[in-house]
Amino acid sequence: MESGNQTRVVEFLLLGLSEEPQLQSLLFGLFLSVYLVTIFGNLLIILAIISDSHLHTAMYFFLSNLSFMDICFTSTTVPKMLVNIQTQVRVITYGDCITQMSFFLLFAALEDFLLTVMAYDRFVAICHPLHYMVIMNPQLCVLLVLGSWILSILYALIQTSLLLQLSFCTHLEIPHFFCEYNQIVQLACSDTFLNDIAIYFAAGLLGGGPFIGIIFSYVKILSSIHAISSALGKYKAFSTCASHLTVISLFYSTTVGVYISSFVMHNAHASAPASVMYAVFTPMLNPFIYSLRNKDIKRALKRILSGKTKRIIVPGVDKVM
C-alpha cells in the first residue's frame, strides 16, 4: 500500500448498533434508562456499605469497589453513545477514541481482577472461618485492590502504546457503539502482528489466570461445604457465594459470547449487540444480584431510602429507629 494512503488519523466514525432512523428514539430511551439505573443502583450499594458499620468488612469493601468500577465502566461508553444517537453525529476524534478505548480496557481488566479477589475472600471465609478476620485484614484488602488497579493500568497502557504505533487508511468506520480495541486494530494499514500477539496474550493472562484462580477457590469452597454435616449449614455457606457466582457467570458468559460471535460469524457487526450485555447490562444487574439475596444490604438500603439514620445498639440486639 502506498504511503500516501496512510495518514495520521483525525477522527473515526462509530456506526452504532443500528442505522435505522425509527429505532433511534427507542435505543436512546432504553440506554438512558439502563444508564440511570446503573448509576443509581451502584451508588446506593456504595452508600449502604459506607453508612452501615456492620458492612465494614472485607466482602463489602470489595463489593463497594466493584460497584464503583461498574459506574466507571458503563460511563466510559454509554454517555458517548447517547450523544451520538441524539445528535446523529457519529464522529469521534482520534484522541477521544484512544482515551475511551484505554479506559474501557482498564475497567474491563479491573472487573476481572476484582471478581477473582472476591472469590479468594469467599474461599478464606468458608475454608478458614476461624482465621478470616486475621487473614483478610484491612491492609491485605487494600493491597489486593491496589494490586488489581496497578495490573489493570499496566495492561491498558501496554495495549494503548501498541495501538499508537499503528497507522490507518482512509476507511475509518468502526462497526460498534464504542471504540473497541479489536475493531480499531482491524482498521490499521500497518503491520498488526504485535497487536495480535498482545491480544492473544492478554486473553490468556487476563482470561485464563483469574478464571483458574476462581475455579481453584470454588473447588476448595465446594469441598468444604460438602464436609459440613448440617443441611442448614451447607445452605448458609453456599448462600454467601450465590451472588458472586451469579455475577461471575454473567461476566464470563457475556464476554466469551462477544468473541465467539465475532470469530464464528466472521462479522465485525456481530460483536456490537453482544457487547451490550457485558458493557451495558451487566453493570446494571450487579447491584440487583447482590442486594436481592443479601439481607444486610437490603437492611442498609431500606434505612437509606427511608431516611432513618439513627441506630440504637443493644447487646445482642441491633435495631434501626
**Model-level pTM greater than 0.85?**
yes
Per-residue HEC secondary structure of the chain comes to CCHHHCECCCEEEECCCCCCHHHHHHHHHHHHHHHHHHHHHHHHHHHHHHHCHHHCCHHHHHHHHHHHHHHHHHHHHHHHHHHHHHHCCCEEEHHHHHHHHHHHHHHHHHHHHHHHHHHHHHHHHHHCHHHHHHHCCHHHHHHHHHHHHHHHHHHHHHHHHHHHCCCECCCCEECCCCCCHHHHHHCECCCCHHHHHHHHHHHHHHHHHHHHHHHHHHHHHHHHHHHCCCHHHHHHHHHHHHHHHHHHHHHHHHHHHHHHHHHHHCCHHHHHHHHHHHHHHHHHHHHHHHHHCCHHHHHHHHHHHHCCCCEEEECCEEEEC
Q: What is the pLDDT of residue 318?
A: 44
Per-residue confidence in pLDDT tens, the chain, 321 aa: 344 444 455 788 898 887 787 888 999 999 999 999 999 999 999 999 999 888 899 999 999 999 999 999 999 999 999 999 998 888 899 999 999 999 999 999 999 999 999 999 999 999 998 999 999 999 999 999 999 999 999 999 999 999 999 888 776 888 888 998 888 888 888 888 888 888 888 877 877 888 899 999 999 999 988 888 778 877 777 787 888 888 898 888 887 777 665 555 555 566 677 788 888 998 998 888 887 777 888 888 888 878 765 443 334 434 443
The reported pLDDT for the residue numbered 90 is 87
Q: List the domains of the chain with CATH numbers.
A: 7-320 (1.20.1070.10)
